Amino acid sequence: MNTVWIHAGETLASEITALLDGMKIASYYVWRGVLRKDNRGDGTRWDDSVFPGKNWAVQLLCGDEALSRLKAGLQSLLKDEYVRQTGLEVYVQRSERLI
């Protein structure tokens, strides 16, 4: 089992959820209004007049086959210049259910 974290600008929310729903991901969690401080680039989003915008954080669990399809789908989104500029980061870690 894999735990996947997707971090992206809130303007990509519909594309990300459409991808997950289209893949028939059983369930996923969404944190809206996530603020980000970027000390290396220009990705800071505090949702104020200086650093406008917010992010979303999405978490899901999936097997290796679904992970492969998810990666392909997300890479397809990254072909769009707007998506690349808005920011999309994905992290995965191996997981096992404790309870």
Reported as a single tens digit per residue, the pLDDT across 38-97 is 899 888 889 999 989 999 999 999 999 999 999 999 999 999 999 998 889 999 999 999
Interatomic CA distance for residues 41 and 44, integer angstroms: 8
pLDDT in tens, 11-49: 999 999 999 999 999 999 999 999 999 899 888 889 999
Residue range of the domain that includes 68: 2-94
The pLDDT confidence band at residue 8, using thresholds 50, 70 and 90, is: very high
Q: Is residue 99 part of a domain?
A: no
Q: Which among 3, 53, 48, 5 is positioned nearest to 30, based on CA atoms? A: 5
Q: Is residue 12 part of a domain?
A: yes
Q: Is residue 62 part of a domain?
A: yes
